[in-house]
């Protein structure tokens, strides 16, 4: 890789982080952006109360990803949803059952549930009882999640994270059960399965907006605006490049 490309990459990152810091500061001082409605997040906000009314639990699965490789961003997106549900669980006493395929993700999930309970002793117990590492291999993971869905009969299933073809198996199990199903992933090959089986979907980058939509965190709101700005810059750049290439 030549120095020019590295320099452009470094400049891109510096501009990006500068924009993120600027828009985060704006969000902290109350200048929050207007976000378009994403139905999946609207549904997520009412899930805990629905589960309590129905007397059933919730199930959240964060997928095959871990926090030690390229799938970290997708895993953190799923964990952002868990963070929101865990805070509601601490207030209402209805923690979700969380399943995952990677043990490092399990540690993060246990930490999020425990920390949402603060110093309460319940937190540790809930963290260990409701967080379930299933298996690392996709088929075994899908089988385990299907087992969780069919046995525990949750009010709703939320599958947000890094998934492959095994998503269809889990998605169909959730759909057959007749409960609400919210699905989201950033993997293009898996998106058709999500669209076909989930009632509400988070497609592509929408999964990274969980912190902004659910908890209105200034850092997440700021980075959303920064992403949109950089996307506009790239789109205009592509358009300009096409024009120059066509005319020359």
Partner 1 sequence: MIVARGLGRLVTTAIAVGAGIVILAHVFATQTEGELFGIIGLKQTITAAGTYLVRLTIIIGAFALLLGFVNVVTVHWTQIRSKNPASVYSIVLLVSLLLSLVFGLGGPATGGTQFIFNFILQPLEATFFALLALFIASAAFRAFRVRSFESILFVAFAGVVLLGQVPISIYLWPELPVIKDWILNVPTLAGVRGILLGVALGTIATGLRIISGMDRPYTD
Whichever of 49 and 128 has its CB closer to partner 1, that residue is 128
103: how many CB neighbours lie within 10 A of its CB? 10
Least separation in angstroms between CB 17 and partner 1: 5
* DSSP secondary structure letter of residue 205: G
Using the structure block, give the residue that is written with the tokens 């320099």.
Answer: 7
Q: Please work out, in degrees rounded to the nearest 5, the angle formed at the alpha carbon of residue 109 by the alpha carbons of 56 and 113.
A: 60
* Residue 20 sits in the site that holds partner 1 (CB under 8 A): yes
* Residue 9 sits in the site that holds partner 1 (CB under 8 A): yes
Which has the closest alpha carbon to 113: 103, 127, 101, 99?
A: 127
Q: Which stretch binds partner 1 (CB under 8 A): 29-37, 50-58, 73-81, 86-94?
A: 73-81
Q: Total residues contacting partner 1 (rule CB under 8 A)?
A: 74
Q: Can you state the angle between helices 218-247 and 3-28, rounded to 10 degrees? A: 140
Q: Can you state the angle between helices 72-92 and 47-54, rounded to 10 degrees? A: 50
**Token pair in block for residue 115:** 């920390």
Least separation in angstroms between CB 111 and partner 1: 7
Which has the closest alpha carbon to 220: 91, 81, 64?
A: 81
Residues 193-232 interacting with partner 1 (rule: CB under 8 A): 193, 195-197, 203-205, 207-209, 211, 217, 219-220, 222-224, 226-227, 230-231
Q: Which of 44, 77, 81, 86 binds partner 1 (CB under 8 A)?
A: 77
Indicate the pairing of strand 97-100 with strand 58-63: parallel
Q: Which of 86, 106, 149, 160 binds partner 1 (CB under 8 A)?
A: 106
Whichever of 49 and 234 has its CB closer to partner 1, that residue is 234
Q: Which of 79, 159, 174, 182 binds partner 1 (CB under 8 A)?
A: 79
Beta bridge partners of 137: none
Whichever of 6 and 54 has its CB closer to partner 1, that residue is 6
Q: Which of 15, 122, 172, 177 binds partner 1 (CB under 8 A)?
A: 172
Which has the closest alpha carbon to 16: 217, 228, 213?
A: 228
Least separation in angstroms between CB 96 and partner 1: 15
Site string for partner 1, 29-68 (x = CB under 8 A): -------------------------------------x-x
* Residue 107 sits in the site that holds partner 1 (CB under 8 A): yes
- Measured on CA atoms in the order 12, 13, 14, 19, is the torsion positive or negative? positive
């Amino acid at each position: 890789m030549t120095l020019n490309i590295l320099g452009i990459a470094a400049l891109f990152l510096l501009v990006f982080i500068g924009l993120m810091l600027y828009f985060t500061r704006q969000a902290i001082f109350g200048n929050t952006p207007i976000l378009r409605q994403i139905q999946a997040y609207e549904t997520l906000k009412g899930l805990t109360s629905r589960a309590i009314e129905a007397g059933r639990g919730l199930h959240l699965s964060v997928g095959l990803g871990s926090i030690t490789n390229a799938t970290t961003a997708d895993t953190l997106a799923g964990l952002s949803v868990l963070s929101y549900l865990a805070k509601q669980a601490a207030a209402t006493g209805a923690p979700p059952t969380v399943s995952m395929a990677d043990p490092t993700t399990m540690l993060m999930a246990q930490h999020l549930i425990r920390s949402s309970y603060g110093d309460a002793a319940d937190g540790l117990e809930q963290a260990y009882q409701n967080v379930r590492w299933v298996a690392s291999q996709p088929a075994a993971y899908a089988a385990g999640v299907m087992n969780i869905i069919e046995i525990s009969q949750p009010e709703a299933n939320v599958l947000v994270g890094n998934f492959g073809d095994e998503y269809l198996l889990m998605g169909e199990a959730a759909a057959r059960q007749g409960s609400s199903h919210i699905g989201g992933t950033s993997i293009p090959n898996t998106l058709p399965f999500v669209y076909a089986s989930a009632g509400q979907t988070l497609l592509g980058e929408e999964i990274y907006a969980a912190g902004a939509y659910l908890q209105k965190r200034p850092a997440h709101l700021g980075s959303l605006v920064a992403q949109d700005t950089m996307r506009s810059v790239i789109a205009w750049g592509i358009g300009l490049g096409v024009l120059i290439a066509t005319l020359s």
